[in-house]
Structure formats: structure tokens, C-alpha cells
């Protein structure tokens, strides 16, 4: 696994073969949603991954595109940093931005759990289905992105073939409930939990993921590089800092084969 992870990390750091484009589609009346489509041109992928970042979920893709750059810094969200791992001839990745009526501030937990958010995402999934007929669609969220993924999967299970909940936020804070009150029995889709045992973010303790392991597959991540950010920010165990490649490889393996990797170290 370490050899494979090292190879994937080298591929991640090397110039990407995948192309990136910002796609903007109408969703609700007067509202649009943009997503960053990372794909290999002219490929016929079997899987499409809809990715939801943490925090307020605001990637500000149209603003970045207008400035002529889609570069993200080293402190970007985990799913942004590993997006090339999920883009090749067999898979495409769609990093979903907050809707236009929630920018630039981003999304609250209440909005992530709303029917409006589910409707927006359904429009994105429909657009992906037009581009890649027959591709299975998986939703993947990290940190507060898990609030979006779990809530939408419970509300509209037909949208996805499976979901990945990474660094799942099971504790409420003053800005929102996260998934502290979520009924996990409402999830009927294949589900993979991914969590770093050393996650020190108080909103996403490893114990929260471990408590759900009797219901869902769990990939535990250990170790990584010394943190360079707050415990709830990306350059820490919460964002798999120093374990990006191995973690992404384990997620990809589950999506493609339904086989969970118990431990990444």
C-alpha cells in the first residue's frame, strides 16, 4: 500500500493528464451552480464522483475562472488537493461549488440539509449523466461536506450509487449542528467512512466514525506529516496531511470494487 500511495503521490505532484473546466448550470429559478469537472478528454468513464468540500463549501469557481486561474494553494481542502487521483479514463471528478445565491459567503448547515440543496445537486448529477451516460455516480464529502452528502443521500437516494463520508462531523458547534442529529439509519446506499485516527478536530472525533463502523465500512488512516494548520483545517490529520495519496487510493478502490481498505498508514 505504501508503494502504491507513493506512486499516486508522484502522479499527483506531476503535471496532470486530466483537463479541468468550470461548468455552470441553472438549478432553481434565478440560481446557478458551478462545478469543476476534472476529466480525461475523450474518455468513457465508468464512474463519476460528485465531491463536496468542507467549511462553507465555497470554491468560488466562476470568480477564479474569470481571473484566468484555477490554481489552489497548498492549504486547499483535501478533496481539492487529490482531485487528479479521481480523474482518468475510468473516472471523472466534479467538485461542486456553493450555489450562486449562497456566494461568496457559502453554505450553512441548514442549507446543506435543505431540499433546495438537494435540488441543486440533482441538476448537477443530471448534467453528469448527459455527459457520461451509464456512469455510476458516487458522492464524496469531507468534513462539513459530509453534511451535504449524508443529507442528500437520505433525501434523494436515487441520485447516487454510493457515498463516501470522510472526516465525518458528528459534533455540533455554534455555527450549526453538523450531523449530530442525523439519523444514520436513513442511509440505505453503500457507504464508506474514512477517518484519521489522529483527527484532533473537536467536531469530527475518530470515536464518531468508529461508533458507526457496525453499520458502514470504515477505512482508518494513521499518521501523516506534522500539522501546519488548525486541527479542523486541511493541513492536519483532519485533512489527511501527508496521507493524501494513500487515503485517496483507498477511496478510489472502494468506489471501483466495493472493497474497503481497513487501514491506511
* pLDDT tens for each residue of 150-182: 999 999 999 999 999 999 999 999 999 999 999
> What sign results for the dihedral spanned by CA atoms 230, 231, 235, 239?
negative
CATH of domain 2-264: 3.40.50.1820
Q: Is the pLDDT of residue 15 over 80?
A: no
Whole-model pTM: value is 0.92
User: Edge-to-edge strand order for the sheet containing 217-221?
Assistant: 19-26, 32-39, 91-96, 47-52, 136-142, 162-166, 191-196, 217-221, 263-264
Distance, CA of 95 to CA of 226 (rounded, Å): 27
**Which of 105, 123, 119, 173 shows the shortest CA–CA distance to 151?**
119
Which residues contact residue 95 at a Cβ distance below 8 angstroms, ignoring those fewer than 6 apart? 35, 36, 38, 51, 53, 59, 61, 79, 80, 83
CB 160 within 8 A of CB 174: no
Average pLDDT over residues 24-53: 97
Element housing 19 (H / E): strand 19-26
Share the mean pLDDT of the chain: 93
pLDDT value of residue 111: 98
Confidence of residue 3 (pLDDT cuts 50, 70, 90): very low
Distance, CA of 99 to CA of 116 (rounded, Å): 10
Average pLDDT over residues 34-40: 97
Would you give the DSSP letter of residue 84?
G
pLDDT value of residue 262: 98
Distance, CA of 101 to CA of 237 (rounded, Å): 32
Amino acid at each position: 500500500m505504501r508503494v502504491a500511495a507513493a506512486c499516486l503521490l508522484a502522479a499527483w505532484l506531476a503535471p496532470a493528464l486530466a483537463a479541468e473546466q468550470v461548468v455552470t448550470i441553472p438549478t432553481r429559478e434565478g440560481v446557478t451552480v458551478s462545478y469543476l469537472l476534472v476529466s480525461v478528454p475523450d474518455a468513457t468513464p465508468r464512474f463519476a464522483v460528485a465531491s463536496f468540500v468542507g467549511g462553507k463549501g465555497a470554491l468560488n469557481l466562476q470568480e477564479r475562472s474569470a481571473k484566468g486561474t484555477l490554481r489552489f494553494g497548498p492549504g486547499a481542502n483535501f478533496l481539492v488537493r487529490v482531485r487528479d487521483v479521481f480523474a482518468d479514463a475510468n473516472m471523472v471528478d466534479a467538485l461542486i461549488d456553493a450555489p450562486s445565491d449562497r456566494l461568496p459567503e457559502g453554505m450553512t448547515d441548514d442549507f446543506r440539509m435543505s431540499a433546495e440543496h438537494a435540488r441543486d445537486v440533482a441538476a448537477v448529477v443530471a448534467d453528469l449523466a448527459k455527459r457520461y451516460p451509464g456512469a455510476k455516480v458516487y458522492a464524496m464529502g469531507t468534513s462539513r461536506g459530509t453534511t451535504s452528502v449524508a443529507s442528500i443521500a437520505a433525501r434523494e437516494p436515487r441520485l447516487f450509487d454510493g457515498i463516501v463520508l470522510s472526516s465525518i462531523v458528528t459534533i455540533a458547534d455554534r455555527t450549526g449542528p453538523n450531523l449530530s442529529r442525523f439519523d444514520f439509519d436513513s442511509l440505505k446506499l453503500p457507504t464508506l467512512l474514512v477517518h484519521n485516527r489522529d483527527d484532533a478536530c473537536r467536531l469530527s472525533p475518530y470515536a464518531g466514525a468508529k461508533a458507526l463502523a457496525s453499520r458502514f465500512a470504515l477505512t482508518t488512516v494513521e499518521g501523516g506529516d506534522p500539522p501546519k494548520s488548525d486541527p479542523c483545517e486541511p493541513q492536519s490529520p483532519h485533512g489527511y496531511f501527508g496521507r493524501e495519496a494513500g487515503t485517496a487510493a483507498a477511496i478510489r478502490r472502494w468506489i471501483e470494487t466495493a472493497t474497503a481498505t481497513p487501514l491506511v498508514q
